[in-house]
Amino acid sequence: MGAKRQRIIDQGPSFYGNSPGSSFMYTAPPPPYSYVSQPPPFPVVRLRGLPFDCTEADMIEFFHGLDIVDVLFVHRNGNFTGEAFCVFGYPLQVDFALQKNRQNMGRRYVEVFRSKRQEYYKAIANEVADARGGSPRRSAPRAKSSDEAKEPAEHTGILRLRGLPFSAGKDDIIEFFKDFELSEDAIHIVLNSKGRSSGEAFVEFADAEDSKAAMAKDRMTLGSRYIELFPSFPEEMDDAISRGR
């Protein structure tokens, strides 16, 4: 099973067959369009004016109560532009997301616009191309100084993954590392304080040689999102997992 972003691309409108769950908090009149004779619109909005230290967790909090499938921060020449795309689970949620237009995130008010599938895909392509050119994915403050030195870091058989889609599960990570023998018990997805995926995970390989070989997957894509890999060690993994409990 691929990442949620890839499933959106592959499956199209059939992805929207279910209705929102109990976390759907907003109340608003139904949208003015009908899905009877045409496929539902792609549920994506574009945001402008975001704080330059904005993270995915900030976006989840900003759109609290809505089902976020993906967040894509927009960069130019390796620098965050203050713009992002946010994909929701259902077309109706776009209307509720638009109610957040000109509301504050931190000290900055954020503009929220309706967007299109093509604009989102174009932004993905630009980010992937930028990543392959060596530019950073985002300028989030959570990066650690040890991240800058992936090699010659000593391999212990553990890799840390960063940049995972929120919806990525253990089966997605197993598929990402399909050239290696991995069990679900060897994969540890890190949760934030609210019990949601933080976009990071740790993978225990059979030995240090396997983890070193797996570094060839660094900055390759899971779905349409590139994943950063870092050599890690048991203490770092245990600490990250315990913080999310």
What are the tens digits of pLDDT across the range 54-92?
Answer: 988 899 999 999 999 889 999 888 788 999 999 998 899
Same domain for 48 and 127?
yes
Per-residue pLDDT averaged across 173-195, rounded? 91
The mean pLDDT of 99-105, rounded to a whole number, is: 94
Tokens 């009149």 belong to 29
Higher-confidence position of 140 and 109: 109
Say which CATH number the domain at 66 has: 3.30.70.330
Q: For the ranges 67-81, 94-108, 179-193, which has the lowest average pLDDT?
A: 67-81
Question: Does residue 146 sit within a domain?
Answer: no
Q: Provide the token pair at 18.
A: 């279910």
What pLDDT, in 10s, does the model give residues 9-47? Answer: 544 443 333 444 434 444 444 555 445 556 788 999 999
Domain count of the fold of the chain: 2
Q: Which of 36, 20, 167 is CA-nearest to residue 97?
A: 20
For residue 139, tell me if it sits in a domain.
no
Judge if 52 and 121 occupy the same domain.
yes
Give residue 118's domain range: 44-131
pLDDT category, 239, cuts 50, 70, 90? confident
189: phi then psi, degrees, rounded to nearest 5? -85, 125
In a shared domain, residues 92 and 127: yes
Is the pTM higher than 0.75? no
Kindly report the three-state secondary structure assignment for every residue of the chain: CCCHHHHHHHHHHHHHCCCCCCCCCCCCCCCCCCCCCCCCCCCEEEEECCCCCCCHHHHHHHCCCCCEEEEEEEEECCEEEEEEEEEECCCHHHHHHHHHCCEEECCEEEEEEECCHHHHHHHHHHHHHHHHCCCCCCCCCCCCHHHHCCCCCCCCCEEEEECCCCCCCHHHHHHHCCCCCCCHHHEEEEECCCCCEEEEEEEECCCHHHHHHHHHHCCEEECCEEEEEEEECHHHHHHHHHHCC
Task: Say whether pLDDT at 232 is over 70.
Answer: yes
